[in-house]
């Protein structure tokens, strides 16, 4: 009932959720069924992801923070005085604060995020803590082309893309994103990017299937979101969370498996599911230092430096955009 009451807020589709509806119907009628991971992050999903980052099994956030704390001064060598730092998918801006503290000569910080509330709140706090810094939030889906504030046009640009979010892109999408980001940041720009590394499958499997079941709730919340926003009637108890490392494709795969044969209604459409059939909800690609370097080089960037944590679990790369001629 609660889901139906909330669904009335959004259904029939508004402009804001029509692409969600289109992508969900296309994904649920495809073979195999799939849903796009960018839709995990409604308010409940963003909170669940925050909870994931604090799980004992989920090492990427801890390892990346350790690298940032240990090497902030070295990373800050890539930030010329008077430059503008652009963070793709800034969220809570927690990681950039470590870099800003180490690079007081940065003139502007441009967090790019789809969540307006988060941007405004974080921008206010950053202005308070860094009175000399121009904080210029950009409300945008960073996976799509967007325009940078004109105020920073004359400044040198540095990109920041932590969290190994690049791992959630298919390799060809990751390459297209890197190339687009390079063209937007400009020739000679630096890019500081966090990338999770290939490792023992048992560590990876535990990180995406934690004992407390938080990642399972994060995955299932996608169905709850469809119920809330697209007049769906998924019975969450009839689906189970499956996450495993696919060593041939160097990626964690997350799926939601139907426990029984069932019909689901979404926005007036009926979706048939067989017992055991899965909806593929996310890939999280893992790279080696070499394979990420090759991806970067193939996308117009030169790898110039890389830092890892003591256990070699996670990496932060510094790249410089060298593409000679724009093909756009
Ligand atoms: C946001 N992204 C980098 C996370 C990851 O590790 O791929 C999303 C996530 N999915 C399950 N746990 C965390």
Q: Taking the CA of residue 120 as centre, how many other CA atoms within 13 Å lie in the half-sphere pointing to its CB?
A: 3
Rg (CA), the chain: 20
The closest residue, in CA terms, to atom 6 on ligand 1 is 284
For every residue of 58-122, which 3-state class applies, written as one string? CHHHHHHHHHHHHHHHHHHHHCCCCCEEEEECCCCCHHHHHHHHHCCCCCEEEEEECCHHHHHHH
How many residues would you count in the chain?
328
- The predicted pLDDT at position 200 comes to 98
Please tell me the distance between residue 200's alpha carbon and the centre of ligand 1 in angstroms.
17
**Nearest-10 crossing angle of helices 94-102, 116-129:** 30
- The predicted pLDDT at position 2 comes to 33
294-304 tens-digit pLDDT: 999 999 999 99
Check pocket membership of 61 for ligand 1, CB cut-off 6 A.
no
Place of tokens 């070499």: 290
Please tell me the distance between residue 61's alpha carbon and the centre of ligand 1 in angstroms.
10
The closest residue, in CA terms, to atom 5 on ligand 1 is 284
Ligand 1 closest atom vs CA 252: 7
Q: What is the pTM of this model?
A: 0.93
- The predicted pLDDT at position 172 comes to 97
CA distances from 309 to 134, 179, 292 (A): 31, 27, 16
Distance from C-alpha of 190 to C-alpha of 182, rounded to nearest angstrom: 9
**Nearest-10 crossing angle of helices 289-297, 171-185:** 60
Task: Specify whether the CB–CB gap between 76 and 99 falls below 8 A.
Answer: yes
Distance from C-alpha of 69 to C-alpha of 95, rounded to nearest angstrom: 9
- The predicted pLDDT at position 12 comes to 57
Q: Taking the CA of residue 157 as centre, how many other CA atoms within 13 Å lie in the half-sphere pointing to its CB?
A: 23
pLDDT in tens, the chain (328 residues): 333 333 334 455 555 578 999 999 999 999 999 999 999 999 999 999 999 999 999 999 999 999 999 999 999 999 999 999 999 998 778 899 999 999 999 999 999 988 888 888 899 999 999 999 999 999 998 888 888 999 989 999 999 999 999 999 999 999 999 999 999 999 999 999 999 999 999 999 999 999 999 999 999 999 999 999 999 999 999 999 999 999 999 999 999 999 999 999 999 999 999 999 999 999 999 999 999 999 999 999 999 999 999 999 999 999 999 986 544 4
Question: What is the dihedral sign for C-alpha 253, 258, 262, 266?
Answer: negative
Check pocket membership of 219 for ligand 1, CB cut-off 6 A.
no
Please tell me the distance between residue 51's alpha carbon and the centre of ligand 1 in angstroms.
12
Ligand 1: residue of 49, 170, 177, 207 to mutate (most ligand atoms within 8 A of CB) is 49
Q: Are strands 157-161 and 84-88 parallel, antiparallel or unpaired?
A: parallel
Please tell me the distance between residue 164's alpha carbon and the centre of ligand 1 in angstroms.
8
- Phi/psi of residue 284, nearest 5 degrees: -130, 95
- The predicted pLDDT at position 3 comes to 33
Distance from C-alpha of 167 to C-alpha of 66, rounded to nearest angstrom: 19
Place of tokens 């990496």: 315
Q: Are strands 251-258 and 278-285 parallel, antiparallel or unpaired?
A: antiparallel
- The predicted pLDDT at position 328 comes to 44
- The predicted pLDDT at position 5 comes to 34
């Amino acid at each position: 009932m609660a889901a139906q009451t909330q669904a009335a807020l959004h259904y029939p589709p508004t402009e804001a959720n029509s692409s969600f509806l289109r992508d969900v119907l296309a994904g649920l009628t495809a073979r195999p069924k799939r849903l796009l991971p960018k839709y995990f992050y409604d308010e409940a999903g963003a909170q669940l992801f925050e909870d994931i980052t604090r799980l004992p099994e989920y090492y990427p956030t801890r390892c990346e923070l350790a690298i940032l704390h240990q090497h902030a001064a070295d990373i800050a060598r890539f930030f010329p005085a008077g430059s503008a730092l652009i963070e793709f998918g800034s969220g809570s801006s927690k990681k950039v604060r470590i870099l800003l503290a180490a690079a007081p000569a940065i003139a502007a910080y441009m967090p790019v995020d789809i969540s307006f509330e988060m941007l405004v709140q974080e921008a206010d706090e950053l202005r308070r803590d860094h009175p000399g810094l121009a904080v210029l939030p950009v409300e945008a889906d960073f996976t799509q082309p967007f325009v940078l504030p004109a105020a920073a046009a004359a400044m040198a640009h540095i990109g920041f893309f932590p969290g190994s979010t690049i791992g959630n892109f298919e390799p060809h999408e990751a390459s297209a994103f890197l190339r687009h980001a390079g063209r937007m940041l400009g020739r000679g720009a630096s890019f500081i990017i966090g990338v999770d590394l290939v490792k023992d499958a048992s560590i990876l499997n535990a990180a995406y299937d934690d004992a407390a079941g938080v990642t399972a709730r994060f995955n299932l919340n996608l169905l709850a979101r469809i119920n809330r926003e697209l007049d769906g009637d998924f019975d969450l108890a009839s689906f189970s969370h499956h996450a495993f490392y696919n060593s041939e494709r160097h990626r964690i795969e997350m799926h939601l498996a139907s426990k029984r044969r069932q019909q689901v209604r979404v926005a007036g459409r009926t979706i048939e599911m067989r017992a055991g059939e899965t909806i593929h909800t996310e890939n999280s690609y893992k790279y080696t230092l070499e394979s990420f370097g090759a991806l970067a080089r193939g996308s117009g960037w030169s790898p110039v430096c890389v830092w890892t944590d003591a256990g070699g679990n996670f990496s932060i790369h510094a790249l410089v955009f060298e593409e000679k001629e724009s093909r756009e």
